Amino acid sequence: MNELRDELIDRKRLADDQKEIGNKHFKSGHIEESIKCYTNAIQLYESNPVFYCNRSMAYLKKGLPLEAHRDCDLALNIDNTCIKALYRRGLSRRQLFRYSLALDDFRRVLTLDADNSDAKRELAATQRLIQSKAIVEIKAIDKPLELQSKTPLTKVAICCDKKSCEFVVQLPESSTIKTQLFANDWARRHSTSLDVDIRAANDI
């Protein structure tokens, strides 16, 4: 029993050491190295939400919001009041065009910490972003699994009233859920109840 306890203590200490090394790499701009260190920390001791939270920060810095989102979820599974995980998940959700869910996270942060200036700023920024974009709803098309694309769709080209407009798509959780298309300036000057004709889908 004592041996198991001592081993756990050693693993926690080694994991903390990896986290500290990762923090130094992150501050020095060595993001890939910091991710490796945080991953080592998680492998040594997977019950500390800070390790996932720190790796999510590095993923965001590297421009990988989906990976950051997953790490924030893992951190929140351990501690659902982890403010940094909620805040960074909000950032990742906004980058994934999941604006309403991002608002939920920023509001949750402010419920736990009413004076959190970062959450206040990002909440306001996300609200402005939503207000600046027209929304058109379409239904996703169901296809047999063997016909579905293996690459996630992130941009779709749409023809509106014989004018070519590019819309950025908010990915649905499944093919049966409505997805939102955020229009450009041209579409905002017209009705948001446009009849849209999907001509092509292009990955970015």
User: What are 70-128's pLDDT values in tens digits?
Assistant: 999 999 999 999 999 999 999 999 999 889 999 999 999 999 999 999 999 999 999 99
Instruction: pLDDT band for 10, please (50, 70, 90 cuts).
Output: confident
For residue 169, CA distances in Å to 9, 181, 183 come to: 47, 5, 9
Q: For position 203, what pLDDT does the model report? A: 31
Q: Are 112 and 175 part of one and the same domain?
A: no
Select from 82, 115, 131 the last residue of a domain.
Answer: 131
Q: How far is CA 132 from the centre of its chain?
A: 21
Q: Are 56 and 112 part of one and the same domain?
A: yes
Instruction: pLDDT band for 181, please (50, 70, 90 cuts).
Output: very low
Q: Are 41 and 101 part of one and the same domain?
A: yes
The answer to whether residue 176 scores a pLDDT higher than 70 is no
pLDDT tens string 28-63:
999 999 999 999 999 999 999 999 999 999 999 999
Q: For position 5, what pLDDT does the model report? A: 74
Q: How many domains does the chain have?
A: 2
For residue 148, CA distances in Å to 93, 139, 177 come to: 24, 16, 16
Select from 72, 100, 131 the last residue of a domain.
Answer: 131
Q: Are 58 and 154 part of one and the same domain?
A: no
| Ordered DSSP codes for 4-20 | HHHHHHHHHHHHHHHHH
Select from 102, 131, 160 the last residue of a domain.
Answer: 131
Q: Are 83 and 154 part of one and the same domain?
A: no
Phi, psi of 33, rounded to the nearest 5 degrees = -65, -35
Q: Are 119 and 167 part of one and the same domain?
A: no
Cα angle for residues 136, 88, 150 (degrees, 5° grid): 55
| Ordered DSSP codes for 139-177 | PPPP--GGGS-SSPP-EEEEEETTEEEEEEEEPPSSTTS
Please check whether residue 101 is in contact with residue 92, taking contact to mean a CB–CB distance below 8 angstroms: no
Q: Are 121 and 163 part of one and the same domain?
A: no
**Residue 121 belongs to a domain with what CATH number?**
1.25.40.10
Q: Are 148 and 125 part of one and the same domain?
A: no
State which residues form the domain around 11: 2-131
Buried b (16+ CB within 10 A) or exposed e, 8-21: eeeeeeebbebbeb
pLDDT tens string 117-167:
999 999 999 999 888 765 544 445 566 766 666 665 544 444 443 333 444
Please check whether residue 155 is in contact with residue 169, taking contact to mean a CB–CB distance below 8 angstroms: yes
